Amino acid sequence: MRISIIIPVYNAEKYLERCVDSVLTSLGKISGEILLVDNGSSDNSLVLAKRLEKKYPRIISILRCKTKGAAAARNYGFKKSQGKYIWFIDADDYIASDAINKLLKSAEDNNGDMVMMGAERIFSNGHKDYLSPVSPDELNYKSRFVRYGMGPWQVLIKRKWWEERGFCFKEGFIHEDMELMSSLILFTDQFACVDEPLYFYCQNINSVLHKRKFSKHIFDIFPALTGLYQRFEDARAEEKYHDELEWFFIWNLLIDSAKDFAQFPEGKIGFARSRKMLKTYFPDWRKNQFLKQKPLKLRIRVRLNYYK
């Protein structure tokens, strides 16, 4: 089997059929499987998944993951998969009709452990933008990879490499992909990319990362970043990629997560925790080379969020 598509399913009845249909179209006659990993949905996702499984029994299988969270669902799906290549896809997104063929060709032509792809990000107001992939043809491409902050859906992965390295997603919190993804490039030089929008990343306001009510999971950013830094320490690469990691911390603490902290009264403590984390890991963060390259408006915003 050439490829396994692993799709965690949690309350995705509005989007699941669109996602699966896009994968089936992209698979065509390619030998592959679609693993729908139910993660305790309370809507009709499981009913819909069973209908799809009955319609395409040779391709689609339903797995029941009792442990909550996308990390557990992806890990469980991987253990049950059989494909030479693995692609983790989110149930509320979809893929291009020629995506699988192009990714497999790039992986096989380049003997790639990973193939990164371009993605089109689609917002609820209809606005779209393009997330360009990191290319191995770029100067210092590993530096950009570390800074990029991609989701697991943006890379095709060779199963053997993933298994031999013992990679898995840390379970029990959100931002589980952040804890792992930026470190992957430390462990391979067999990297390829397809600079085309093969994945359509839909900004679902009801997703785990877009909650309207306060959740203590907004603080999961802290263990996620701690875990990422530990991976670089274990690989003895934290000094080589000091500025890249520093920028990654700045972006995620003082720009991205700061929006969540400011949104809820209970989240305000996140600003103090961000200051503490930066003082611990990167006390000279203000001198970061990548921060200095940013527009003045963003640099002022970063400073204000640090002192909130």
**Which two tokens mark 4?**
């396994």
Rounded Cα–Cα distance for residues 85 and 96 (Å): 18
Determine the pLDDT at residue 212.
66
The phi and psi torsions of 169 (rounded to 5 degrees) equal -90, 135
DSSP code at position 4: E
Q: Angle at CA 160, nearest 5°, toward 157 and 161? A: 65
Q: Kindly report the pTM of this predicted structure.
A: 0.93
Amino acid at 222: F
Integer-rounded Cα Rg, in Å, for the chain is 19
- 280 has which bridge partners? none
Q: In this predicted model, what pLDDT tens digit does every residue of 101-116 receive, in sequence order?
A: 999 999 999 999 999 9
Return the exposure string of 238-260: e unless at least 16 CB atoms fall within 10 Å of the residue's CB, then b. Answer: eeebebbbbbbbbbbbbeebbeb
Provide, for the chain, the percentages of residues in helix, strand and coil under a 3-state DSSP scheme, each rounded to the nearest 5. Answer: 50, 20, 35
Q: What is the pLDDT along the chain (308 residues), one digit of tens a residue?
A: 999 999 999 999 999 999 999 999 999 999 999 999 998 899 999 999 999 999 999 999 999 998 889 999 999 999 999 999 999 999 999 999 999 999 999 999 999 999 999 999 999 888 999 999 999 999 999 999 999 999 999 999 999 999 999 999 999 888 889 999 999 999 999 999 999 999 999 987 655 544 568 889 899 999 999 999 999 999 999 999 999 999 999 999 999 999 999 999 999 999 999 999 999 999 999 999 999 999 999 999 999 999 98
So what's the pLDDT on residue 213? 83
The tokens 């940013």 sit on which residue?
A: 294
The pLDDT tens digits for 147-166 are 999 999 999 999 999 999 99
Task: Give kind and range of the element (H or E) at residue 251.
Answer: helix 242-251
pLDDT score of 203: 86
Phi and psi at 208, nearest 5°, equal -60, -35
The C-alpha atoms of residue 150 and residue 154 are separated, in whole angstroms, by 7
Q: What are the residue ranges spanned by the domains of the chain?
A: 3-202, 216-307
Architecture in CATH of 3-202: Alpha-Beta Complex (3.90)
What's the pLDDT score for residue 61? 95
Cα–Cα distance measured from residue 201 to residue 131, given in angstroms and rounded to the nearest whole number = 10
Conformation bin of residue 122: beta by default, left when phi > 0, alpha when psi is -120 to 50: beta
DSSP secondary structure letter of residue 255: I
- Which token pair is 284? 């000279």
